[in-house]
Amino acid sequence: MGETLGETGEFGLIARVTTGRTYGPSVLLGPGDDAAVVAAPDGRVVATTDVLVEGRHFRLDWSAPYDVGRKAAAQNLADLAAMGARGVALLVGLGAPAGFPVADAEELAQGLADEAAVVGAYVVGGDVVASDAVFLAVTALGTLDGRAPVTRSGAREGDVLVVAGFLGGAAAGLAALRAGRTDLAAVSAQRVPEPPYDAGVALAEAGATSMIDVSDGLTGDLGHVAAASGVGFEVDVAALPWHPAVAEAAEALGVDPVEWVLGGGEDHALVATLPAPVAGWTVVGRAVAEPGIRWLGVGAVPASYDHFA
């Protein structure tokens, strides 16, 4: 197994995952003090946090520690993108048993750093604690670069609905893992999502009136926008961007792929409303005055994920 956390200790691990790392100009003071110092150019910081618990959000017999690190960073950075912000820094809390291999902790740290680097962000600090189960608590900090934040509450009747990224891949991958079908391409989408980070800023600059990260499933997340904005939606299900791996998994597992596309989360696609169609974005629906969501072209609609359901 190699060296464990119990053998290397808290500060030994911190030294191993921070020594030699370099940081960009947005990080004024990195790890090593009681807190990091990060530049906030326009005087505002966009902040979000998520917790991932082994057995609930990931399984280390299904995903490598590196992939878990990538996934933990991605879901936080996608939340920033949904506000029209770009990521700047991550703070990470790691809980693990004393017997957890140091090599696995280093892989987790590298995955976090590599995913942060996709958007030009850095891991600037955090904490390590002993725990019965492995968990990651990640806080992401971002900047709006002078723009107003794009919230869930700005959609208005007549706005068009667009989706950036793909839907259903992560849910299909989870179903494949549960069925032992690690040969299916969708497994990669579950292990390491690929959020459309750049689309968040692009949609904000295009005049998006509302936006949300699809983390728990389109049916529920679009419902949050509808409730916050006081509108309803009509959605053309046939126009939604399915993940390329969904069809293969659906055929192999004998599942209706609409279940994954509408009810599955963790792809971290971005759903936004715009006052009018904009070149480069496919319209998949529109906001209407009547409350509720009408899913055109399907019958029964799956529910989204709920942590306590």
Range 241-275 burial, b when 16+ CB lie within 10 A, else e: bbbebbebbbebbebebbbbbbbbbbbbbbbbbbe
Distance CA 57, CA 72 (A): 10
Please state which of the ranges 81-95, 102-116, 136-150, 292-306 shows the lowest mean pLDDT: 292-306
Residue 307 has pLDDT above 70, yes or no: no
Dihedral of alpha carbons 199, 204, 207, 213, sign: positive
pLDDT tens, position by position, 113-135: 999 999 999 999 999 999 999 99
pLDDT tens, position by position, 6-61: 888 777 777 888 887 889 989 999 888 889 899 988 899 999 999 999 998 999 99
Domains in the chain: boundaries: 5-143, 160-296
Q: Does domain 5-143 have CATH number 3.30.1330.10?
A: yes
Residues 6+ apart with CB under 8 A from 138: 49, 50, 51, 52, 72, 73, 75, 76, 90, 91, 92, 93, 112
Going from the C-alpha of 205 to that of each of 45, 48, 95, 198, 208, the distances in angstroms are: 18, 21, 39, 11, 7
Distance CA 202, CA 304 (A): 27
| % of the chain with per-residue pLDDT over 70 | 97
Token pair recorded at residue 296: 């055109």
Q: Name the average pLDDT for the chain.
A: 93
What pLDDT is stored for residue 304 in this prediction?
Answer: 64
Distance CA 159, CA 271 (A): 12
* Helix and strand totals (H; E) in the chain: 10, 12
Token pair recorded at residue 298: 């399907």
Residue 179 has pLDDT above 80, yes or no: yes
CATH number, domain 160-296: 3.90.650.10
Distance CA 30, CA 89 (A): 10
Going from the C-alpha of 209 to that of each of 139, 146, 241, 271, the distances in angstroms are: 25, 16, 21, 11
Going from the C-alpha of 98 to that of each of 13, 28, 284, the distances in angstroms are: 12, 33, 49
Strand duo 122-130 + 86-96: pairing: parallel
Q: Do 5-143 and 160-296 show the same overall fold?
A: no
Going from the C-alpha of 188 to that of each of 66, 242, 262, the distances in angstroms are: 13, 15, 19
Are 50 and 91 contacting, i.e. CB atoms less than 8 angstroms apart?
A: no
